[in-house]
């Protein structure tokens, strides 16, 4: 079956580094996406991994290990505005097909 697991909640302080983990079990794999969703708003795209390794984009990085069915999102130099839900999503098939989403990790950043 399909299963994507993420921690439900995490807390951190401004300026710190936080790592949000995601493990997945799906029947196919053609990419893993991370989305950010602020309360009451739409999910917005953060990153995409399809090959093993680290993808860096400013303060955010995402890592993938396909053999372990594992990814993480790394947020550096945390800011208050980073308080949001972070959604891990897997695409099983080719481009243009649906994503399977985890339930999201709610990150609270305090001063």
Partner 1 sequence: DAGVIQSPRHEVTEMGQEVTLRCKPISGHNSLFWYRQTMMRGLELLIYFNNNVPIDDSGMPEDRFSAKMPNASFSTLKIQPSEPRDSAVYFCASSLTQGRRQPQHFGDGTRLSIL
104 conformational bin, left if phi > 0, alpha if psi -120 to 50, beta if neither? left
One character per residue 14-33, x = contact with partner 1 (rule: CB under 8 A): ----------------xx-x
48 in contact with partner 1 (CB under 8 A): yes
Buried b (16+ CB within 10 A) or exposed e, 10-26: bebeeeeebebebbbeb
What CA–CA distance (Å, rounded) separates 85 from 83?
7
39 in contact with partner 1 (CB under 8 A): no
SS3 at position 82: helix
Which one of residues 20, 22, 32, 43 is an interface residue with partner 1 (CB under 8 A)?
A: 43
44 in contact with partner 1 (CB under 8 A): yes
50 in contact with partner 1 (CB under 8 A): yes
Residues that bind partner 1 (CB under 8 A): 30-31, 33, 41-45, 48, 50, 87, 91, 94-104
């Amino acid at each position: 079956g399909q299963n994507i697991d993420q921690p439900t909640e995490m807390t951190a302080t401004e300026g710190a580094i936080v790592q949000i983990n995601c493990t997945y079990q799906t029947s196919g794999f053609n990419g893993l996406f991370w989305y950010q969703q602020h309360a009451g708003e739409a999910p917005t795209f953060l990153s995409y991994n399809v090959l093993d390794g680290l993808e860096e984009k400013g303060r955010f990085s995402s890592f993938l290990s396909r053999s372990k069915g594992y990814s993480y999102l790394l947020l550096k130099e945390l800011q208050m505005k980073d308080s949001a839900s972070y959604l891990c999503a897997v695409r099983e098939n080719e481009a243009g097909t649906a994503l399977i989403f985890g339930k999201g990790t709610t990150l609270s950043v305090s001063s």
